[in-house]
């Protein structure tokens, strides 16, 4: 196992400068990692159309905001990789599904958040990146080595965002800008300071898929789950001091959830109810890790499992992350991360 210092990168500069620095640092390892991830990411033979992936990757990249195009071009240049290959690595997330589980709530004076990211290719995950892009809010994000985009992160303004897959049947509205969820989340981390900023941005840009978006503002301890279809957003109102979510909507019009999503949601509700019944004796972060590591919440399949997990309090800057190991919540290497600012 690498030490946590081997799994945390810190970069500053323009998007292209940051991309190039990451590419130079990773070198040939980036190409090897991309090849392995694309091979292992979809486990069913029919889960990924490689021809469609290759045809769609570069056109998709050219739809991204220019600063992200610059960073991906810098990454490819630094690692001496074709831009096509870097585009495929990012575009593959559009072609296959995933799932996750999350908790958010006030414990003591502050709001805390906990999440499992359930995915394929578990050995590819367990890295953290501090990115200080010129003219944008610095961020700490979690995912793969060399990632530009993230599904989990916090910024210097103590805004935490993470999203989980959310099935939806609608589509982006004609004539409106739209982005993949992980691209939009990364952009919001770099531009938003409050949950109100996030909601305003969601009103401006549609999504290419649904996402269950957890948001915590550590400055005010406000928290929310925003259920985002491609063209609609609903804020899930808390019935108490906490909320949990898996991979189905509650406020955005109820649909029959997948059995796994409903069972994880129900189990987290039961564990959260117990946690708050003994709130005076809560042990943090251990009790939140226990929810994530529960055998009815954590995903433990041979191919599909919880690949990383997080617990954090944005108000105090207390952050824990699994630096490798899987299933991550129960067997990963849980270590604290020092607040970087």
pLDDT tens figures, 138-151: 999 999 999 999 99
Least reliable range by pLDDT among 55-64, 253-262, 295-304: 253-262
As a whole number of Å, the end-to-end CA separation of the chain is: 27
d(CA 12, CA 19): 10
Alpha-carbon separation of residue 225 from 22, 198, 201, 245, 267 (angstroms): 32, 11, 15, 8, 18
Give 98 or 290, the one with higher predicted confidence. 290
Helix, strand, coil percentages for the chain (3-state, nearest 5): 35, 30, 35
Q: HSE-up of 2 (CA within 13 Å, CB side)?
A: 15
Residue 298 in contact with residue 304, Cβ under 8 Å?
Answer: no
Upstream peptide bond of 285 is cis (omega within 30 degrees of 0) = yes
The percent of residues in the chain predicted with pLDDT above 70, rounded, is 95
Supply the pLDDT for residue 2.
47
Q: Would you say the pTM of this structure is higher than 0.85?
A: yes
Q: Is the pLDDT of residue 15 over 60?
A: yes
Supply the pLDDT for residue 43.
54
- Concatenating the DSSP letter of every residue in 202-250 gives HHH-EESS-EEEEEEETTTTEEEEEEE-SS-EEEEPPSSSEEEE-SS-S
pLDDT of 17-71, one tens digit each? 999 999 999 999 999 999 999 888 765 555 667 888 899 999 999 999 999 999 9
Give the three-state DSSP class for 137: coil
Mean pLDDT of 97-114: 92
Pair of tokens at residue 14: 């323009």
d(CA 194, CA 167): 26
pLDDT of 112-138, one tens digit each? 999 999 998 899 999 999 999 999 999
Predicted confidence band of residue 1 (pLDDT cuts 50, 70, 90): very low
d(CA 167, CA 99): 10
Least reliable range by pLDDT among 113-127, 251-265, 272-286: 251-265
pLDDT of 175-231, one tens digit each? 999 999 999 999 999 999 999 999 999 999 999 999 999 999 999 999 999 999 999
């Amino acid at each position: 196992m690498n030490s946590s210092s081997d799994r945390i990168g810190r970069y500053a500069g323009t998007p292209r400068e940051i991309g190039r620095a990451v590419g130079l640092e990773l070198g040939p390892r980036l190409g090897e990692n991309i090849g392995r991830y694309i091979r292992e990411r979809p486990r069913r033979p029919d889960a990924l159309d490689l021809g469609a992936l290759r045809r769609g990757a570069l056109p998709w990249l050219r739809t991204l905001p220019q600063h992200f195009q610059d960073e991906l071009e810098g990454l490819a240049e630094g690692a001496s990789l074709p831009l096509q290959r870097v585009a495929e690595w990012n575009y593959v997330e559009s072609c296959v599904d995933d799932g996750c589980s999350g908790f958010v709530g006030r414990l003591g004076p502050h709001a805390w958040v906990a999440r499992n990211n359930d995915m394929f290719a578990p050995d590819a995950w367990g890295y953290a990146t501090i990115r200080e892009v010129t003219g944008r809010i610095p961020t700490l994000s979690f995912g793969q080595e060399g990632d530009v985009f993230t599904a989990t992160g916090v910024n210097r303004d103590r805004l935490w965002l993470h999203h989980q897959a959310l099935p939806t049947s609608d589509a982006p509205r004609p004539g409106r800008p739209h982005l993949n969820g992980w691209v939009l989340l990364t952009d919001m981390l770099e531009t938003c300071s409050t949950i109100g900023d996030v909601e305003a941005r969601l009103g401006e840009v549609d999504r290419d898929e649904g996402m269950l978006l957890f948001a915590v503002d550590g400055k005010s301890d406000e928290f929310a789950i925003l259920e985002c279809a491609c063209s609609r957003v609903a804020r899930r109102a808390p019935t108490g001091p906490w909320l949990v979510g898996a991979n189905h909507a509650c406020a955005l019009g109820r649909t029959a959830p997948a059995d796994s999503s409903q069972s994880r949601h129900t189990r987290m509700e039961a564990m959260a109810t117990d946690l708050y019944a003994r709130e005076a004796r809560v042990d943090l972060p251990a009790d939140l890790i226990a929810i994530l590591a529960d055998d009815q919440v954590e995903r433990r399949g041979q191919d599909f499992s919880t690949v990383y997990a997080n617990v954090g309090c944005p108000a105090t800057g207390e952050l824990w992350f699994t630096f490798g190991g899987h299933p991550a919540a129960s067997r990963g290497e849980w270590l604290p991360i020092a607040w970087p600012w």
